[in-house]
Copies of this chain bind each other. A is one copy, B any other.
């Protein structure tokens, strides 16, 4: 089985997320990186390409050149999948061109920087029936699938409550002392109209909709900025309501000093509850009413796991798999979709609809924050039927 030929846009040396994608794509051996436009800085682009064993002729000086030049190659050599790991404002422009050129796209989240452009991209993807994957990494964790299974299979009964929180602390300090990442992430021209809420609140939102297999319909929230000179929110929270009638709370903050990456979701129905935490991703706590609580554990062949969870484990229980494995699960599902010639959406991989959901969430948060009106409705664009 030949590896899928992959190209990368962005991800030059010093960029965190590009390396994450390369680790993840490499883990299961489904991809071979054949070309890249890693950086607009020529030296960086070259040295990154060389370090990654890309032939000089396929180290491109711009993403436009890359798309064009690859198209000109014979199909058997041409890049099949383009991975986009640029700053946010380029996600849609590149995705659009790549899809029009017939490439499959795997894009770092968010899908784009505003609703309009992502909606336009959605239209193109739907029209072309193209494969487009979005790196909502946390949806690659086996035990997130297990949590969703517990909800959808009725183990919790009717869902009443959902609490999701995503506290980080890395933006607690002053803007000028923060790192390069912090700077572009808090620049509206690059990141879009929100900071923390767009960066990590969308993960929390997407996790709620995925695990509940339900859609948020309204929210009442506030955004805050705690550091002088920062131009985007670094913190916020919202009360939320879902289509099927659950209510709850969503918290996302990058000024929770000392917190690392503590995404967590809890769901309660009339028969039981569950809890999953990203920082100990291989467990789901299940609390049935009237019985001792249970801990379901990830692992190949592990008791009690649904197929969607166990098929996403590489090793037996007790051998921790983590963040890169979660993203690798997205890459492997995407590879399967490419090989199976799936259309429209890769099975098991968040797609453009998930991307659009993130945009409607951000728009609702922006509308709600500072408003005197309590509840803001969340558009059902991108929602599952």
Contact = CB atoms under 8 A, between A and B. Distances in A.
A260 interface: yes
B292 A294 contact: yes
**What copy number does this chain have within its complex?**
4
Report the contact-size class of chain A (Cβ under 8 Å from the partner): 35 or more
Contacts of A173: 289
A322 B287 CA distance: 23
B296 A292 contact: yes
Contacts of A251: 163, 249
Interface stretch (A15-23, A56-64, A81-89, A108-116): A15-23
A366 interface: no
**8 shortest A-B CB distances, which residue pairs?**
A258-B287, A260-B318, A261-B318, A320-B322, A319-B323, A26-B26, A260-B317, A258-B273
- Which of A2, A3, A22, A53 is most buried by chain B, counting CB atoms within 10 A of its CB? A53
B279 A256 contact: no
Given A220-B239, A226-B270, A292 B303 contact: yes
Interface string A338-381: 00000000000000000000000000000000011111000000
A273 B26 CA distance: 37
Interface string A257-282: 11111100010111111000011110
A291 interface: yes
Contact of A316 (B2, B261, B288): B261
Contacts of A270: 172, 226, 255, 257
Contacts of A266: 167, 256
A157 B315 CA distance: 28
A291 B269 contact: no
A257 B267 CA distance: 9
B318 A320 contact: no
A170 interface: yes
Interface string A17-46: 001101100111100010000000000000
Given A297-B292, A372-B373, A168 B318 contact: yes
Interface of A: 1-3, 16, 19-20, 22-23, 26-29, 33, 50-53, 156-157, 160-161, 163, 165, 167-170, 172-173, 220-222, 224, 226, 235, 237-239, 247-249, 251, 253, 255-262, 266, 268-273, 278-281, 286-297, 299, 303-304, 314-325, 371-375
15 contacts: A26-B27, A160-B235, A163-B251, A221-B239, A255-B270, A257-B269, A258-B272, A259-B318, A261-B318, A278-B318, A315-B324, A320-B323, A322-B322, A372-B373, A372-B374
A51 B286 CA distance: 38
A305 B329 CA distance: 29
Contacts of A253: 161, 268
Contacts of A286: 292
